[in-house]
Amino acid sequence: MVSIPLKRLLPGLVIGPAAWLGPYIAASSLFLPALIQQINSENKIELVALFSTCGMVVAAVSNMVAGLLSDRTRSRFGKRTPWIVGGAFFFMIAMILASMANSVPPLLAAWMLGQVALNFIVAPMVAWLDFAPENGRGTASGAYGGLGMALGNNGFTIIAAAFLGNFRLGFIIFGIITFVGTLIAVAIVREPGNLNEVVAVKAEKKEKFQLKEVLTIFPKWSVGRDYYLALIGKLFQGVGNFAITGYLLYIMTDFLNKGASGTQTSIQLINTIMLIFGIAMGFIAGPISDKFNVLKLPVALSTISLGIGALSLFFLRNDTAIIIYGFTAGLGMGIWNSLDNLLNLEVIPDKERVAFFLGVYNLGNTITQALAPVIAAAVISIAGFSAIFLVSFAFAMIGGLCILNIKSVKR
């Protein structure tokens, strides 16, 4: 097994996910809704749902393909690096194309290209966690999820909110950030080459791509029970989170009736608070997990905090609710992002396909952002904006219950 020292791996696990997730969150939650509103304001809710549905399908397929290809790759740069760099380049191109779109079809095409490219970053990069030394996996997971994803989820959104007045330029700048940031991350990690594995692969029976393997690519429930529970838990938790963040711009303008200045200030406030908690948990949660051998309980209980934040917006509907949401959702997401990848690494049913299973699991970071707006759009059309907060609470609770039912991780 490849082992990379934490002094190299940790910076890469912070910069890497921040470089792909930050621009994607900025584009999906702010720039894309703003551009859709400019192109077709009358159908903006339905169009966001359409983009999300198409993105969900493309993300699911491309993520699995990227994971499989990465696991099978042999190169002087290792298994992961070629796909990560290629994905980052084409994501940048997709964002530039999106900035030029003046109608729905070319914007949708550019967005789908971006979804494919993004997942060729995500699936191989999360497998970097498997490079961590055995006694430092909690710390590595905290760096990836707590620090890297906190910067991506919230840090970049603070900056992106300032581009709402010029969101086309935002597409371009944040696309470039993905490519440059990814190059920096892979240069720091310096994944070793694995050409020496070629001989071992050729010696195997040539059954890799037979139909039998395709049909059994996912193990049956009795074998992969805990992995599936972790995956289901992540999907429900992700929908609970992104049902709100995916419509945050419209929540501020259409639900809380804030003007342009108030919307920008509120979005920046929420993301500043969540960024602080995310960074704090990135430093704290992973090392505590390593020291006290506790993993399942904090991951599950973090969803309760997320649910409380959603309820605060439902009941209070004012600036106080915005602050409470920032604190509770920030704490919950900080703990979750710090430890959920480590939890999944513990329950993977086949250690020979780490990138594939980690990649599928991390569809929760892309597919739920696509699925949540579809669910939210349906709920909004039936019961109005206020109902999405109840949906967020319910989904977060179900996600936590799934995590608690994992058996192979005791606590």
What pTM did the predictor assign? 0.72
Tens of pLDDT along 185-220?
A: 999 999 998 888 754 444 444 444 444 444 457 788
Q: Is the pLDDT of residue 294 over 80?
A: yes
Tens of pLDDT along 46-86?
A: 888 888 888 878 888 888 888 889 888 889 998 999 999 99
CB distance 150 to 338 below 8 Å: no
Mean pLDDT confidence for 110-133: 90
**What whole-number percentage of the chain has pLDDT above 70?**
93
- The Cα angle at residue 37 between residues 31 and 40, in degrees rounded to 5: 135
In this structure, which CATH number among 1.10.357.10, 3.90.1110.10, 1.20.1250.20, 1.10.3720.10 belongs to the domain 6-404?
1.20.1250.20
Structure tokens at 207: 């059954």
Tens of pLDDT along 228-239?
A: 999 999 889 988
Highest mean pLDDT among 94-98, 146-150, 335-339, 346-350: 94-98
Q: Which residues contact 79 (CB under 8 A, 6 or more apart)?
A: 70, 71, 73, 124, 127, 191, 194, 355
Mean pLDDT confidence for 332-358: 81
Composition of the chain by helix, strand, coil, percent to 5: 85, 0, 15
Q: Which residue has the higher pLDDT, 349 or 38?
A: 38
Q: Which residues contact 61 (CB under 8 A, 6 or more apart)?
A: none
Domain ranges (residues) in the chain? 6-404
Structure tokens at 204: 């195997």
Rg (CA), the chain: 20
Look at residues 400, 357, 391 and name the one whose alpha carbon lies nearest to residue 372. Answer: 391
